[in-house]
A and B are shown apart, each in its own frame.
Chain A
Amino acid sequence: MGHDIVIRVEGLWKRYGLPVPAAVRSAAAFLRGNRDSHDGDGPWALQEVNLEVRRGETVGIIGRNGAGKSTLLKVLAGVSAPTRGRVEVRGRVFPMIELNAGLHMELTGRENIRLLGAIMGLSRREIESKIPEIQDFCELGEWFDKPVRTYSSGMLARLGFGVAVNVESDIILIDETFAVGDLKFQNKSLARVKEMRESGATVLLVSHSLDTLQFVAARGVLLERGRVVAGGSSRETINAYETLVFRSEQERLQHKVRNRISSQEVMIHHARIVGDGGETITEVRAGNPFGVEVDLSIGRELERPLFSLGIVNAAGILCMWNISEEDGFTRPETGGRCRVRAWYESNHLATGAYEVHFAVRDASSFETLERIAGAASFAVIGPRRSRGVVAELCRWDVVPVGPGT
């Protein structure tokens, strides 16, 4: 409590649009002749959001598209009114939300900077004193005095960002602005954010770049369908976010047979992922063993049955491909109703969503009897960030090396 808290959000609900009294709305609906429509009430963009941010904190707001991140920033900026609840902000709020707001295409870069400065609340003297610094920051060169309609989109964004980072404020709201410019410009921008933070500013940022969030923000808040579903350190929050994404990807992949080649001689009844105790699971903890079971009927005796299993991640990359014979499993003359079981004793899969491809062949005739993509799906969930295809810790060391060696 006290003056240390610069943002306090209590029970915030937000629905877009003008709140029209129910009586007026039903009257309007009556006039239009559709008495039983309730389309006047849009969906809630934010529901029961509670949040406290202290001075000097950097908080990353994470969530999928449409989770309410930008809405939250808009409400905090005072741009959009809360529908219910209370929002308290202490200090000057400066929203760096898509910064080419208010640029006029016919004006030059310099003239636009004067305009943007005024919009952002700088006095004319402040603007004039900052123009050299901004000019330097934007790296526009001779384009600085040309009409902005001739600019590329990257140049436009740099111009806006150049003004924004030179505005001093107590609370800074950043929405997806780091994707501007090349890597060098991005680093420069991040350095400015760091400077502002060190001077005591509170920063709230939304970014789809989880790496940026992880390194810039100390704290994270995860929004899902307008609600705060997780919070904590930025790493914990990012992890919760990835878990959320993997689960939904897994759901999307579930029972979605994408591609099937069948000879009508093999019938797959069911495929599932099993855990340690033989139970059906949809989620595997990173590093834990798991198995795949496929129930099938084979219409004829196969001389040399050959089963293969592929594990494909959400990006479509084949992560593993196992063939029963190569793994040392042979079983001649198989037919009728049976269950194929494969057990992955050591699991090095990175966190993410996966699907299982399965195929049955007869090695003697080399016929493909059944090949099915997306027989089952699962998510690998764990505390580590999803990077690469396999996850394995490595041992790090830094050894001092003498100048002569």
Chain B
Amino acid sequence: MSKAAYINLSPAGTPFSRFVNLLWALAMRDLTGKYRRSALGLWWAFIQPLVLMLVFSMLRGFVNIPSDGLPYILFSYAALVPWTFFANSLSSCGPSIIDNAEVIKKIALPREVFPLAGITSAFFDFLMSGILLAGMMVWYKVPVGWSLVWLPVLVALAAAVAFSIGMLVAGLGTFRKDFIFAVPFLVQVWLFVTPVIYPISSVPDRWYFLYLLNPMVGVIEGFRTVLLKASPPPTEPLLASVAVTAVLLAVSWPTFRRLSAYFADVL
């Protein structure tokens, strides 16, 4: 039995520019397709974190949640915006392979482009909700400084976490849909083990290191620190987040690559 191989001997593979071009086209398709027949369009993007914020603000009326001395609305919204980006990215990754079955079954493309396109279109929603956040920051006269240069890093990190988990979900979910069905529950649980609606200072010390294994801790805490406290993200959670994300990517990417050769067979 010889080993199976498919080799394309042509000089150039997929050039990077082609990949980017495709990514852009798919993200635009997702966005325009999603909002074309809606009246509010992209404005839906900030309704989602806004509603969550209102819900949690009401919750705070019953339960005492500390907010590090910041107005709770601002405290929670500054975290809910990146959280929503992450949650939307992750949930768009899951079905991205199945939704693009028609393309995947016919044309050989780097399959990573499909979950990435989901993340890219979630990023546009994120930008929209960022506008409201910026407005709130102006309203509350939050001082900002050079620490804002950390924002792209944090966004990239959130995207990387979503991409690493999303690839696993998309890859495995193509074979067994259960993985995709599990995502909403995962996101819900994840929200409560991340300092979104409560500050990281509420986490008991003995759980702290275990807590840092959640790569979103560094991202969310980083966002809040950078935006509301005008200082660079806390080092410990950030480094932990980067390390865990690197491990996740090292596992999920090769798994996805291996599975992707058989996507066309089962779609």
A binds B: yes
Task: Point out residues on A near B: beta carbons under 8 Å.
Answer: 10-11, 13, 16-19, 74-75, 77-93, 95, 97-98, 100-107, 111, 114-115, 117-121, 123-124, 147, 170
A111 vs B25: C-alpha distance in the bound complex, in angstroms?
9
- Which residues does chain B contribute within 8 Å of A18, judged by CB atoms? 175, 259, 262, 265-266
**Contact between B21 and A118 (Cβ–Cβ < 8 Å)?**
yes
Please indicate the chain B residues that have their CB under 8 angstroms from the CB of A13 in the complex: 4
State the CA gap A349–B105 with chains docked (Å): 44
* Chain B contact patch, size range: 35 or more
| A-B residue pairs, 6 tightest by C-beta | A118-B25, A78-B108, A81-B261, A102-B103, A90-B9, A80-B264
The contact string, 1 if C-beta is below 8 Å from chain A, for chain B 143-175, is 000000000000000000000000000000001
User: Does B33 reach chain A (CB closer than 8 Å)?
Assistant: yes
User: CA A118 – CA B103 in complex, angstroms?
Assistant: 12
Are A104 and B33 CB-contacts (below 8 A) given A17-B265, A78-B108, A87-B7?
Answer: yes
With A18-B262, A87-B6, A118-B26: A123-B21 Cβ-Cβ less than 8 Å = yes
Chain A residues with CB under 8 Å of B8's CB are 78, 89-90, 93
Name A86's closest neighbour in chain B (CB-CB): B5
- Shortest B44–chain A CB gap in Å is 15
Q: Are B17 and A79 in contact (CB under 8 A)?
A: no
Q: Give me the interface of B with A, judged by CB distance under 8 Å.
A: 1-10, 14, 17-18, 21-22, 24-26, 28-29, 32-33, 36-37, 100, 102-109, 175, 259, 261-262, 264-266
Shortest Cβ distance from B260 into chain A, in angstroms? 9
Report whether A101 and B22 are in contact in the complex, using a CB–CB cutoff of 8 Å.
Answer: no
Complex contact A102–B100 (CB within 8 A) = yes
Q: Which of A81, A91, A114 is close to B4, meaning CB atoms less than 8 Å apart? A: A81
Contact (Cβ within 8 A) A77 B107:
yes
Q: Which residues of A contact B28 (CB under 8 A)?
A: 115
CB distance from B229 to the nearest CB of A (A): 42
- Residues of chain B within 8 A (CB-CB) of A119 are 22, 25, 103, 107, 109
Q: How far is the CA of A91 from the CA of B12 in the complex (A)?
A: 9
**Which residue of chain B has its CB nearest to the CB of A92?**
B10
Query: B107 touching A120 by the CB < 8 A rule?
Result: yes
Instruction: Assess whether B32 is in contact with A106, with CB atoms less than 8 Å apart.
Output: yes
B100 cross-chain contacts in A, Cβ below 8 A: 102
Nearest CB on B from A92, distance (A): 6
9 residue pairs A–B, Cβ–Cβ below 8 Å = A18-B262, A79-B106, A79-B264, A81-B261, A81-B262, A86-B4, A98-B102, A111-B32, A119-B107
Instruction: Tell whether, in the assembled complex, residue A74 and residue B264 are in contact, meaning their CB atoms are under 8 Å apart.
Output: yes
Residues of B within 8 A of A80 (CB): 261-262, 264-265
Contacts of A111 in B (CB 8 A): 29, 32
Residues on B with C-beta less than 8 A from A16 are 265-266
A89 and B9 contact, Cβ closer than 8 Å, known pairs A18-B266, A119-B22: yes
- State A88–B24 Cα separation when bound (angstroms): 31
With A87-B5, A95-B106, A107-B33 as known contacts, state yes or no: A17 contacts B264, CB within 8 Å.
Answer: no
| Minimum Cβ distance to chain A for residue B106 (Å) | 4
B26 proximity list for chain A (CB < 8 A):
115, 118
Contacts of B24 in A (CB 8 A): 118
Contacts of A95 in B (CB 8 A): 106-108
Bound Cα distance from A10 to B5, whole angstroms: 10
Q: Please name all residues of chain B whose beta carbon is closer than 8 Å to the beta carbon of A85 when the two chains form the complex.
A: 2, 4-5
Task: Report the separation of the CA atoms of residues A152 and B29 in the bound assembly, to the nearest whole angstrom.
Answer: 21
Report the nearest B residue to A175, measured CB to CB.
Answer: B106
On chain B, the residues within 8 Å of A93 by CB distance are: 8, 108
How far apart sit A359 and B7, CA to CA, in the bound complex (Å)?
A: 63
- Write the chain A residue with the least CB distance to B175: A18
- Give CA–CA (A85, B107) in the complex, Å: 21
Q: Could you say which residues of chain A place their CB within 8 Å of the CB of B259?
A: 18
Q: Which residues of B contact A75 (CB under 8 A)?
A: 6
Cα-based distance from A103 to B102 in the complex (angstroms): 9
Assuming A17-B262, A90-B9, A118-B21, is B104 touching A79 (CB within 8 A)? yes
Q: Which residues of B contact A89 (CB under 8 A)?
A: 6-10
Residue of A nearest to B17 (CB): A123
Tell whether, in the assembled complex, residue A82 and residue B265 are in contact, meaning their CB atoms are under 8 Å apart.
no
Assembled-state Cα–Cα distance A104/B25 (Å): 11
Q: How far is the CB of A48 from chain B (nearest CB, A)?
A: 11
In contact, B1 and A78 (Cβ under 8 angstroms): no
By a CB distance below 8 angstroms, the chain B residues around A124 are: 21
